[in-house]
Amino acid sequence: MQFTRFTDYALRVLIFVSQRPDEWVTIRQVAEAHDISRNHLMKVVSYLGARGYLVSQRGPGGGVRLQVPAEQVRLSDVILDTEGELDLLPPESDIVDELREPHERLGNVMREAVDAFIRSLESSSLADLVEPVAAPQRISATS
Amino acid sequence: MQFTRFTDYALRVLIFVSQRPDEWVTIRQVAEAHDISRNHLMKVVSYLGARGYLVSQRGPGGGVRLQVPAEQVRLSDVILDTEGELDLLPPESDIVDELREPHERLGNVMREAVDAFIRSLESSSLADLVEPVAAPQRISATS
């Protein structure tokens, strides 16, 4: 059970741009930071733009940035957008009659489990990944 | 996000044998019912034997059957056994320093979501897939 490379790359791009809210980020920067293909990243960035996650600026000094604040980008939405159907098992089309019912039940059980997976992600945003965690208050021990 | 073919086939085998608690089931039967490769099924059946899901009997009239009652085979255990690591994202090994922390957090968020997925499956057994559902009580409307 693995995400597609498309989802993997989408998360890398979104994390990278979230860390730089005041910059126009280039595909080259993301590709070099992760040592991955610029060609694949281009498709991902284009998709994230079309889906309203990123805005882009052309020309020298251009690039992409988040369209909305990182707190408003829920990880569940990113996964639902980039993974597509989330069917864990291939459809059972040419199945013999007596097996149809058990495999339908299996599909239902799996869909419930995927729902639980997605609900768990609903409480996390991009901001939760990139924002500094508040340092615990300390009383100096050196005095 | 899809299960491996190995998991898919393991579930097909387990459902098939659960429907026939009093038979020795052959790989050929499962292969024909699903129109899938016997070679791949052999590896799956061998693994399910080694993991204690199936017992086998050699020779004519032999085959495999469940080692324990279907009620005792939890779907969560099958998935954990057959899917292996359940890491949805590839490990980020050669990552630049500033990206390490966000990707570690992402990994933690995803592990929690996978835990929610597995917990959802813990309440379902193989028996839930194959056993007849009790028919609702009806009052005859034809009198």
| Cα(B74)–Cα(B81) distance, integer angstroms | 11
- CA-CA-CA-CA torsion sign (B108, B84, B72, A96): positive
What pLDDT does residue B40 have?
92
Q: How far apart are CA B15 and CA B34, in angstroms?
A: 12
Q: Which residues of chain B are within 8 Å of residue A4 when distances are taken between CB atoms?
A: 1
**pLDDT score recorded for residue B140:** 57
**The predicted structure's pLDDT at residue B32:** 93
How far apart CA A87 and CA A78 sit, in angstroms, is 16
Residue of A34, A40, A88 to mutate, testing the B interface (most B Cβ within 10 Å of its Cβ):
A88
Residue range A21-29: mean pLDDT, rounded: 95
Percentage of residues in chain A having pLDDT higher than 90: 75
pLDDT at A95: 78
- Average pLDDT for B11-37: 95
* Residues of chain B contacting A124 with CB distance shorter than 8 Å: 109
Between B4, B75, B105, which is nearest A109 by CB?
A: B75
For residue A2, the cross-strand partners are: B2
pLDDT digits (tens, 9 = 90+) for A34-79: 999 999 999 999 999 999 999 999 999 999 999 999 999 999 999 9
Whole-number mean pLDDT of chain A?
91
Which residue has better confidence, A143 or A23? A23
How confident is the model over A103-140, as pLDDT tens digits? 999 999 999 999 999 999 999 999 999 987 766 666 65
Q: Which pLDDT does position B84 carry in this prediction?
A: 84
Domains for chain B: give ranges and CATH numbers: 5-130 (1.10.10.10)
pLDDT band at residue A19 using 50, 70 and 90 as cut-offs: very high
Q: B115: nearest CA in chain A?
A: A117
What pTM was estimated for this model as a whole?
A: 0.87
Taking contacts as CB-CB distances below 8 angstroms, the residues of chain B near A130 are 102
pLDDT at A101 over 70: yes
- The beta-carbon neighbor of A89 closest among B3, B19, B110 is B3
Chain B: closest CA distance from residue A140 (Å): 26
Residue of A nearest to B85 (CA): A1
A93 — pLDDT class (breaks 50, 70, 90): confident
How many A/B residue pairs have CB atoms within 8 Å?
123
Query: How deeply is B2 buried, as exposed, middle or buried, from its count of CB atoms within 10 A (0-12, 13-18, 19+)?
Result: middle
Neighbour tally for A57: CB within 10 Å: 10
The per-residue pLDDT for range B34-83, each reduced to its tens digit, is 999 999 999 999 999 999 999 999 999 999 999 999 999 999 999 999 99
